[in-house]
Chains A and B, each alone.
Chain A
Amino acid sequence: MRFPYDTTYRDPQKLLRYPVDWLLYGLLTAVLMAAPWFLPRYYVGEITFIFIMCVASLGLMVVTGFTGQVSLGHAAFVAIGAYTHALLMTAGVPFLVSIVLAGAFTGAVGLLVGLPAIRVSGLHLAMVTLAFSVIVEQIVGRWKSVTGGFTGIPVPPPNIFGFDLGAQKPFYYLCLAVLVTVLGALINLLRGHAGRAFIGVRDSEAAALSLGVWIAGYKVLAFTMSAGITGIAGALFAHHLQFVTPEGFSLLLSLELVMMVMIGGLGSLRGAILGAVFISLLPTAISATKPFLPARISGQFGLEIFVFGLVLALFILFEPTGLNGRWIKLKALFSAFPLYRRDMLRRGKTYMRSERYR
């Protein structure tokens, strides 16, 4: 067990409070920095993809996990970010300006989509975003003069002040840098005023309102920010794909993003990252187990989606707090090592709670 012992007011505000945090996160940083130099090329590409998905998942976590606004259509924002960035880059805008503009434009679209969030909530908002995602997919597929239709458009390689970042290793570091920046910004944002307001809106709108939180404003702010971050992820994704086509941004991507935040654990940034890593690795894991399965099953193309559904269902049924909840429980078990009781981590019984209007 560890008992916090603060000697200054600054102590509880530190991101890394204990020496062991410094050690572990330092180790993680060292491993991630060194990874491209000794891993095979294929895995470097995979990890880069995971970084991009982490950024997108963090974006969705802001709105779904912290503000409680369910969005089933975030692939649309990934698509908008990717296409905006691709078009700007093609027009000759420098990389850094272009990625910021792509994020800003996606955020502006998110603002438009987020405005209904003031009026509709819960499942209705989920439906609005789902419908929005389908519509964007169609527009991207049909608006041939701008998006190139189903043939897609090529994306020029990223380039900062003359340094070409298109090669695998520089792009890996670029994505890592973006991920760390976004993560750091979100950590600080969410423990500040805005973050508390988000959580207040999520847990009880009435209570938040009576404490003077401007609910409509914070809902829209969360949606806009989430869309902007997802747009930046989309811009990186465009470079990862090198050729953007509408197929990459289907409904399935939206649902994968939602699965990331659900499986990771709603309401925690660590969860968003764990979930993104887990879901991004799942297809690789499935194809790795295929040789051991009977040919009748492994040869079929529905296996992947079946496993995705199974994993999501098992998590919702048996571990609703997600990977992050499991992590916290494990930590509690270890820190209390000989002193845990058998029922320490037993879930309480839940009863039907009506969310119906009366």
Chain B
Amino acid sequence: MNLQVVQLLQLCLNGIAIGAIYALVALGLVMIYKATETVNFAHGDILMAAAFVGWALISVAALPFWLAALVTIIASAGLAYFLESQVMRVIVGQPQFAGAMLTLALAFMIRGAVSMAFGPTSRTFETPWSGHTVHIGPLVIATLNIVILVAAIGITAALYFFLRRTKLGVSIQAASQNQLAAYLCGIPVKRLNSMVWAIAGSMAAVGGLLLAPIALVDIGLWFVVLKALAALVLGGFGSIPGAIVGGLLIGIVEQLAGVYLPDGFKDVMAYLVLIAVLVLWPRGILGEAHGRRV
């Protein structure tokens, strides 16, 4: 194979790995959006907090990786459950904007609390896969990237199974399609909404634990929520498969922009895509047709 093609493939693979994380975050966002009609701007900060907790458990408390990951995921799910059941529920019935602003406020609080607890320095932690690579033909792939991809596919598959095949999952779908009807059928809508937040929170924790070894454990990790929003918009707002497709595409586009476009485009590519899609093609790739209720 010639060098150009190899480079392109290599970039796409890296992009898919990063994109898988964006997709995980976007999945959490879209689940929360479908259940409670709020765009959770605090999602990135939950992810960031999880990365810091993971770092503390692995590097300071010296727990084994898997145990630390489990504790982090449970803690993050608990935090998200608490936020929905104790804070977000208070403003149910107020305009959508109030909900978005409240999540922004929560994001500030989490960010402030994390930076008060851990300080502004960035750090890194060891995973079982750090530093290993796999060679496939001329391609070199970090094992971590494969793990990320496998984890993302696994979580998506588990989520699909959960939402389609289990009673709880079907109730969640029912509640997010029509809350009142679901409530009248005896579905505990309030508890389910909190549970959706908890599931999304645990997915954010996985994202944080996987992203931290690539980026750094840093306050700036919350920025991933903006990339995930771009992914959501590209895939079609409110569509679960769209979130995955959009996440992967944004990851790939970013990597390609980093190499083939002038310096600086890598950082803003996701936002350019967001604006372009919203202006030119608001439905996105897999979005539902829009109809406005009067």
On chain A, the residues within 8 Å of B114 by CB distance are: 302
Whether B112 lies near A304 (C-beta < 8 A) is: yes
Jot down 18 A-B pairs with beta carbons below 8 A, ordered by A.
A120-B278, A122-B97, A123-B39, A130-B229, A138-B264, A206-B294, A301-B116, A301-B120, A302-B120, A309-B107, A309-B112, A310-B105, A316-B98, A316-B105, A350-B92, A350-B94, A355-B96, A358-B291
Residues of chain A from 111 to 139 with CB closer than 8 A to chain B in the complex: 115-116, 119-120, 122-124, 126-128, 130-132, 134-135, 138
Q: How far is the CA of A136 from the CA of B138 in the complex (A)?
A: 39
Encode contact with B along A319-348: 1 for CB under 8 Å, 0 otherwise: 010000000000000000000000000000
Number of interface residues of A (CB under 8 A): 49
Given A135-B268, A313-B105, 9 more A-B residue pairs with CB atoms under 8 Å apart are A127-B274, A258-B104, A300-B119, A301-B119, A309-B105, A316-B98, A320-B91, A352-B180, A357-B291
| Those 4 A-B pairs whose CB atoms lie nearest each other, nearest first | A306-B112, A309-B108, A350-B93, A302-B115
Q: What is the CB-to-nearest-CB distance from B144 to chain A, in angstroms, rounded to a whole number?
A: 27
A297 in contact (CB, < 8 A): yes
Q: What is the CB-to-nearest-CB distance from B116 to chain A, in angstroms, rounded to a whole number?
A: 4
Q: Which residue of A lies closest to B289 (CB)?
A: A357
Out of A132, A301, A309, A356, name the residue touching B275 (CB < 8 Å).
A132
Out of A124, A352, A357, name the residue touching B292 (CB < 8 Å).
A357
Whether B101 lies near A357 (C-beta < 8 A) is: no
On chain B, the residues within 8 Å of A127 by CB distance are: 229, 233, 274, 278
Whether B116 lies near A297 (C-beta < 8 A) is: yes
Whether A352 lies near B179 (C-beta < 8 A) is: yes
Out of B107, B230, B274, B279, name the residue touching A119 (CB < 8 Å).
B279
Out of B110, B274, B288, name the residue touching A131 (CB < 8 Å).
B274
Encode contact with A along B274-294: 1 for CB under 8 Å, 0 otherwise: 110011001000001011111
B22 in contact (CB, < 8 A): no
Q: What is the CB-to-nearest-CB distance from B132 to chain A, in angstroms, rounded to a whole number?
A: 34
On chain A, the residues within 8 Å of B43 by CB distance are: none
Whether A302 lies near B111 (C-beta < 8 A) is: yes
